[in-house]
Structure 1
Amino acid sequence: MNRRVARLRAAQALYQMDLAHTEPESALESVLDDGEVASDFLNELIYGTLKNKEQIDQLITENLTGWKIERMGHVDRAITRMALYEMLYIEDIPVNVTFNEAIELAKAFGGDESGKFINGLLSKSIEKMNQ
């Protein structure tokens, strides 16, 4: 499983956990295709995001203008959380790679404005992280 597929599966699982309060193991199992095995990277994205969710949500909240995190769409919230986890805690992946992958996921699976919304939110978050 390459990293692009792992990000997609992780976003799907995080979305499911956020929307339906599904347990991580069950959500992970439900997003894998028949015969597909979760990669270490996929597991790290899911469990790392969950472990650091409080800090990640704080960063999201600090960078939302005129919004509350609860108002974000579930897809946008899952992608943003996962991307910020990757940017903050996985050192061997360039931030711009994670940034671009998150925007592509948002365009593909979010609402009409998801790509722009996540672009702006991640840009503000990156600026804050680099201060």
Structure 2
Amino acid sequence: MNRRLAREKAFQVLFSIDNEDFDPRVALELSMDGEEANEFLTALIYGVVENKSDIDEQITDALENWSFKRLANVEKTLLRIATFEMTSAIDTPVGVAINEAVELAKVYGDDQSGKFVNGVLSKINK
């Protein structure tokens, strides 16, 4: 599994965890359809779950004229993944983490999601 697909799977799992209150292991197992999860995928999922409050604080600090509670679940989940990826020991260039989050926002969000995600992540990167 390449990193792009792993990010998409991580998005699906973390979205399920937030919206359905799934256990991370169960959500991961259900999303894999019998495939084995790779190290990058599990690092993203468990990294976001374990550091959620710190990540949410970083996102909140980067928001302008917007509250964290008002964020749509798609954008919130993508921002969490990218923020973790940008600020952790995972070996991903910041630009790649931002670009991947923007691309997923274009697929799963609305017309403005990509721009919004890009703007917030750019502020976190400063």
TM-score, normalising length from structure 1? 0.92
Q: Which residue of 2 aligns with 1:115?
A: 114
**Structure 2 unmatched runs, 5+:** none
Q: Does 1:82 align with 2:69?
A: no
Q: Give per-residue Cα distances to partners, 1:30-55, cap 9 Å, x unaligned.
A: 221x3311101000000011111111
The count of aligned residue pairs is 126
1:13 aligned residue = 13
- Structure 1 range deviating more: 44-53 or 66-75: 66-75
Structure 1 residue 91: Cα displacement: 4.5
Distance 1:44 1:70 in 2: 26
In the alignment, the residues of structure 2 paired with residue 16 and residue 67 of structure 1 have an alpha-carbon distance, to the nearest angstrom, of 24
Aligned residue runs from structure 1 range 2-81, under 5 A: 2-32=2-32, 34-81=33-80
Secondary structure of 1:92's counterpart equals coil
The structure 1 segments of at least 4 consecutive aligned residues displaced by more than 2 Å after TM superposition are: none
SS of residue matched to 1:67: coil
Backbone CA RMSD of aligned residues: 1.0
Separation in 2, partners of 1:91, 1:3? 12
How much does 1:75 deviate?
1.0
In structure 1, how many angstroms separate the alpha carbons of the residues matched to 2:4 and 2:123? 24
Kindly provide the CA deviation profile for residues 54-87 of structure 1, in whole angstroms up to 9, marking residues without a partner as x: 1110011111112111211111111100000000
CA distance in 1, matches of 2:45, 2:34: 19
Looking at structure 1, the residues matched to 41 and 4 of structure 2 have their Cα atoms a distance apart, in angstroms, of 10
Identity of paired residues, percent? Answer: 48
3-state SS, counterpart of residue 38 of structure 1: coil
